[in-house]
Amino acid sequence: MPPKKCVFCDISSGKQESEILYRDDELMVVKDIKPVAPVHLLLIPRRHVAGLTYASGSVSNTLGKMFAMAEEMARRQAMTVSGYRLVVNQGPDSGQQVEHLHMHLLAGRQLKAMA
């Protein structure tokens, strides 16, 4: 069950506007409103899942689809050759700001190495 206020659930249901690049029954892809790279997309399950900690086997297909769609979106942005980064933040210490599972696709410039 989604929390009382979830921005991603609001985008999915049409209650909040966002630049949606892809949407189907399981997944949507939107542009991040505070990008940290020239290409910064969010891949978001439409069904509310708070995070990986709460993801059961029932979302394993959705997780697989997120990775497949990330590759497709990188191709659409012409970033498959130069490269891209996929990030899933889990929990407050990781920097997760929205308690709804999502994946960041970052590309468009050389990214710094992660420590």
Q: Tell me, yes or no, if 102 is annotated catalytic.
A: yes
- The encoded tokens of residue 106 equal 């970052």
| Contact (Cβ atoms closer than 8 angstroms) between residue 65 and residue 73 | no
Q: Is 28 helix (H, G, I), strand (E, B) or coil?
A: strand
Catalytic residue, candidates 40, 48, 100, 102: 102
Radius of gyration of the chain (CA): 14
Task: Measure the CA–CA gap between 13 and 115, rounded to whole angstroms.
Answer: 37
Which of the residues are catalytic? 102
